[in-house]
Chain A
Amino acid sequence: MIRALVLLIAAIGTAGATGPAPPDFTLNTSCPPGFEKTQAGVCELRTLYQFYDSLENRGLGGTRTALPPHRDGFTPRQIDLGRYLFFDPVLSGDGTLACASCHDPARGLSDGRPRSLGIHGEDAGRAAPTLWNVAFLKRFFWDARAHSLEAQASGPLYSPREMGNTPTRLLASLNGNATYRRLFQEAFPSHRGPIAEQEIFTALAAFQTSLVSLNSRYDRYVHGYDAALSEREIEGLNVFRSFVARCSECHTPPLFTNEQIAVIGMPEPKGHAFDVGAEAILHSPKLKGAFKVPTLRNITRTAPYSHSGAFADLRSVVDFYNKGRGNAVPKDMHLYLHWHISDPKLTDTEVDRIVDFLGALTDETFLPQTPARVPSGLAPAKRGE
């Protein structure tokens, strides 16, 4: 219902904005916050975590552990072009959805829905993950089916359940826009000829790697400021990393994901079919119901939770773990549950403390700016409400 209304408004907005795009779009020549512009003119991430090490350079461990290897080294212009693309509904088949519609800066770079809605308002089947810290990931989507941001991008763009575009139409609309032709030329100066699909993917990747969140109160605690966390949050941290709860065995600092795929047996919401997850990708029955461990950074900003939005709030998620191994596995189905899924029997207070601690992982200081206008002249992605 609400959705239909939005489409209507969006359609009106589009109708009013079909004239020539304003000529004054420029690309930023400085790097986004958190990045240093090197001699070579590219942006490199700087964080206090670079002063630490990690075993086998895997970026997993405890408090003062280095981050895993990450993507950076894009030019400021590529990053800024990616920002315009990210907010521009011209990327979707009917000009109604931008990446930012489902990865909304106002909603923790997610969309606040149990499952996303595609261009025609249909259920996209899964929840939109946050994009914070995707620069550090090696696999993308809940079932880990893509291995780079560039490979990932074609997913939403061309899925009929998401942005419903086609490569031909996407290239035609961007190449048909003089502003985009100029901006792509500036961002990719050595390129000749029309805008190519790879450049779109590169620019989107460049922008997404600038979405870094490493300044939470937890991080201040890590870097040596004990008072950054309250007593309750420290208690929560200790339960979180204890071997009774075992949360940190999978949601491992510093990113609060170890990026593995794991079968943990979360339920589907009522009426939603069982999702086999990574089984379908890796063709291994032992991975039925396996999903990539999601990051917990900015987790308070991205309710509801799970791959299909089965949990309305954090306390219900922690309750799920606490109800014990296999408590939500459909009858007549055998899942190979991960061995860290146990029967922790946490007290109510301990569950509350975990929730308190998760609140200390919030940091949105490097939230990207939503452009006031985008080169297509369409209304930049509007909130879906």
Chain B
Amino acid sequence: MKKGLIIGLLVAAVAFGAGTYFGRSGKQEMTISSSTQGASYAGGFKAEGVAVKPGDAIRSVAGPAPTNVVVVKDGESIQAAIKAAPKGTIVRVMPGTYHETVYVDKDDIRIIGVIEAGRRAVLDGEKKLNDAILYSGNNFVAENLEIRNYKGNGIMGQAGNNFEIRNNVIVDSGVYGIFPQLGQNGIVEHNVVSKIADAAIYIGMSDNILVAHNDVFDSVAGIEIENSRHAIVEHNYVHNNTGGLLAFVTPGLPIKDTVDVIFRNNFVVGNNHPNFGAPGSTVSGIPAGTGILVMAADDVVIEGNIISDNKVSGIIITDHANAQNITADPESEPNSDRVKILDNVMLRNGYDTITEAKALMLAEGKVGAKNLDIVRVGPSPGSCIINRHQYVTVGVSDFTECDFTNTAATVNYLLPPVPPREIKPGERGKVVYLGICTGCHTYNGRMIGPPVQVIQALYLDNPQGLADYIAKPAKKRDDYPEMPPQDYLDPQTRLAVAQYMLQVTN
């Protein structure tokens, strides 16, 4: 199972052997490029409007400035504070130990730990609780926390946009340390994440992401970008994981592609940790000793990384067909298209590589090589590389020369905080009327409740009266059942729906 990901290699080796590479002799011509000169990669994403200059780079994405602060002290409950908090609140958590699952289903909440002389607010799941933090609201911020001993995830987002997760320490907290899912526009930076059974930082099905300056180690996967678009992963220290940086398309998920990922200026060092991924998980097939792994992701740029001491290979590029522990998905395109490998420092990789890779090297006539920097199996159309002569490679001979040498022009893919959609009361009133009241009231007929025409006659100039009635309906008619209270609608919405109901004409 462990080597499942690479098992197809042998078959591929035969194909390579029979094809382009067999019997090739003599030195290839060298093309030497300098990454400080030459064209810059334009990136696959353009925010509306003008190009960003480095100085104007967005550093914050969480929307409106907070308007309220509450303080939670050791012994109190963070969740209780969040429950009571209006949107726009900073929940400051004082040093201490908190045993709880915190969930945030509203917008504009920031949970910010206070660090006092090195003492943090510690969320401790004691290996009993599932997740430390679950958020689904927009403009969510989690900072300065320490998270330990959860079974599920450290911090998990479900469709929250404009999030910032920074300066947290996350240790031995289940499947993923930090896992924003189905979100747009987020920053994950300056976190220290270790001992995670799958990916320490996992960007799943999300768009416009920056993962920077994190220290991730002792996990199965360091940083994984999966079924996501427009992500930059830079300046991270990724060491002693089974695999360091991953760009994947995982089959069986509703969003089918990974496009436009930049891995740049990271330290990807000694990722040789024995694989302790759960049986059946995608990462359980990663061979221990993988620096960077690209599987079925498109437009992945690898630039400026220091990739060293990863025993299987510095970079592996593969497809779904060669990953045998992967389930099938007819809707996802299985190849890693348009990989772009720019200048990287590669040292001492592949010194103890897997049999399948050795066979491949043999097939390319690379006898006696002690290292392996880059290995590619499976189709990878449109891919390019510069300064290929620097590395020990297999399967990249048909990569073209890239027509750029750096990514300097792509600053990041973040967006200004996306403002919440403004809902006019009239519009809300109409939608609530149609979405809820029409279940029991029609304009001119008897349904479960009396006709709207009758109600209009009763409350003609009195929308407030109607709004008050529906919050606490009194029994009025013998031949009708009781109307259930609509007190779950806030007073404003109740008035809006009353006004709307009083003017409908059909």
Contact = CB atoms under 8 A, between A and B. Distances in A.
A258 B254 contact: yes
Given A64-B137, A224-B490, A46 B435 contact: yes
B463 interface: no
Interface stretch (B68-76, B174-182, B408-416): B174-182
B51 interface: no
Nearest to A35: B434
B205 interface: yes
A227 B443 CA distance: 31
Contacts of B206: 55
B280 A226 contact: no
A55 B207 CA distance: 8
Contact of B130 (A33, A245, A248, A263): A245
B7 to A, nearest CB: 15
A60 B130 contact: no
B328 interface: yes
Nearest to A263: B327
A47 B205 CA distance: 25
B435 A47 contact: yes
Interface string A127-143: 00000000000000000
Contacts of B393: none
Interface in A41-83: 46-48, 50-56, 58, 60-65
A244 interface: yes
Contacts of B176: 243
A327 interface: no
A317 B29 CA distance: 63
Nearest to A261: B252
B185 to A, nearest CB: 10
Interface string B148-159: 000111001111
A225 B489 contact: yes
A30 B328 contact: no
A308 to B, nearest CB: 22
A37 B151 contact: no
Contacts of A221: 105
B103 A284 contact: no
Nearest to B183: A55
Most buried by A among B101, B103, B428, B435: B435
Given A243-B153, A263-B327, A284-B328, A34 B439 contact: yes
Question: How many A residues are at the interface, by size bracket?
Answer: 35 or more
B131 interface: yes
A177 B253 CA distance: 48
A339 B327 contact: yes
Nearest to B330: A282
Given A47-B435, A55-B207, A61-B158, A336 B440 contact: no
B489 A242 contact: no
Interface in B384-436: 421, 423, 428, 430-432, 434-436
Given A46-B430, A365-B439, A226 B158 contact: no
B250 interface: yes
Contact of B175 (A52, A243, A259): A243
Contacts of B101: 238, 242
Contact of B184 (A55, A64, A343): A55
Interface string A6-30: 0000000000000000000000001
Contact of B488 (A35, A227, A284): A227
A271 B134 CA distance: 43
B136 A286 contact: no
Given A53-B421, A60-B254, A62-B159, A366 B131 contact: no
A342 interface: yes
B418 to A, nearest CB: 8
A48 B428 CA distance: 8
B136 A252 contact: no
Given A243-B131, A243-B152, A282-B330, A214 B254 contact: no
Most buried by A among B161, B174, B280: B280
A55 B205 contact: yes
Contacts of B428: 48, 51
Contacts of B137: 63-64
B252 A343 contact: no
B255 interface: yes
Interface string A240-265: 01111100100011000011111100
Nearest to B136: A62
A341 interface: yes
Contacts of B205: 55, 60
A241 B131 CA distance: 9
B207 A342 contact: no
A338 interface: yes
A339 B281 contact: yes
A382 interface: no
A38 to B, nearest CB: 12
Contacts of A211: none
A337 interface: yes
Interface in B300-328: 327-328
Nearest to B130: A242
Contacts of B158: 61-63, 241, 248, 253
B456 interface: no
B60 interface: no
Contacts of A252: 254
Interface string B80-92: 0001000000000
Most buried by A among B156, B279, B439: B439
Nearest to B438: A33
A157 to B, nearest CB: 28
Contacts of A282: 328, 330
Nearest to B447: A33
Contacts of A35: 434, 438
B252 A65 contact: no
A101 to B, nearest CB: 25
Interface of A: 30, 33-37, 46-48, 50-56, 58, 60-65, 214-215, 220-228, 234, 238-239, 241-245, 248, 252-253, 258-263, 282, 284, 286-287, 325, 336-339, 341-343, 365-366
The 10 closest A-B pairs by CB, nearest first: A61-B159, A62-B136, A62-B158, A365-B439, A243-B152, A286-B328, A225-B488, A242-B130, A62-B159, A33-B438
Given A238-B103, A258-B253, A365-B440, 8 more contacts: A46-B434, A48-B435, A62-B105, A65-B159, A248-B158, A253-B158, A258-B254, A262-B252
Interface of B: 83, 101, 103, 105-107, 130-131, 134-138, 151-153, 156-161, 174-176, 179, 181-184, 205-207, 250, 252-255, 278-282, 327-328, 330, 421, 423, 428, 430-432, 434-436, 438-440, 442-443, 488-490, 506
14 contacts: A51-B423, A54-B182, A63-B137, A220-B488, A238-B101, A242-B130, A243-B176, A243-B179, A284-B328, A284-B330, A339-B280, A341-B280, A342-B281, A365-B440
